[in-house]
């Protein structure tokens, strides 16, 4: 029989909590015509500026074909554009358009609402401890991997 003590699994608690947060946020975002993954693309651009498709995929932890479909729809809808990388013509950089700004602002509001809902009954100290513990776990598992992701692909970095 398949057995496992999920109560003791960090992965179970993190994944099930992440799923609940994403589901709640996605339900809010879809009302504005954007998916969670599309909003996540905008979040990566907000955090790291214009970047290559490879960097974006690495940061989001998704495969190139999956990301390509998301970016194709966003480009078709005028939310972002792909521009040539000046250092490598084979490389495309992902840039948000003016239309993305409106979606981003609404998405930020949805994220705030979701955070408030998720944090009901938690103190600021508990939230700070939660972030600290998640950071330690991520560091334990990734080490300096995040630094490598930041430099993958085209070396240009532009914050727009």
User: Would you state the pLDDT for residue 1?
Assistant: 85
Length of the chain: 160
Give percent of the chain with pLDDT exceeding 90.
75
Residue 52 contacts by C-beta under 8 Å, 6 or more apart in sequence?
A: 85, 91, 92, 93, 94, 152, 153, 154
The reported pTM is 0.75
User: Would you state the pLDDT for residue 156?
Assistant: 41
User: pLDDT for 123-145, tens place per residue?
Assistant: 999 999 999 999 999 999 988 65
User: pLDDT for 43-98, tens place per residue?
Assistant: 999 999 999 999 999 999 999 899 999 999 999 999 999 999 888 888 889 999 99
- What DSSP line would sit under 72-120, residue for residue? HHHHHTTSEEEEE-SS-TT-EEEEE-HHHHHHHHHHHHHHHHHHHHHTT
């Amino acid at each position: 029989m398949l057995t496992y003590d999920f109560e003791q699994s960090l992965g179970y608690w993190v994944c099930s909590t992440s799923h609940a947060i994403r589901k709640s946020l996605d339900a809010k975002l879809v009302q504005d015509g954007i998916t969670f993954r599309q909003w996540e693309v905008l979040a990566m651009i907000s955090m790291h500026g214009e970047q290559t498709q490879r960097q974006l995929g690495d940061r989001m932890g998704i495969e190139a074909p999956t990301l390509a479909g998301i970016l194709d729809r966003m480009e078709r809808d005028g939310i972002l554009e792909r521009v040539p990388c000046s250092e490598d013509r084979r490389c495309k950089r992902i840039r948000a358009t003016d239309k993305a700004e409106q979606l981003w602002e609404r998405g930020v509001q949805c994220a705030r609402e979701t955070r408030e809902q998720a944090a009901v009954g938690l103190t600021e100290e508990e939230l700070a401890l939660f972030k600290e513990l998640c950071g330690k776990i991520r560091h334990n598992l990734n080490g300096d991997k995040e630094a490598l992701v930041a430099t993958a692909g085209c070396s240009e970095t532009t914050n727009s």
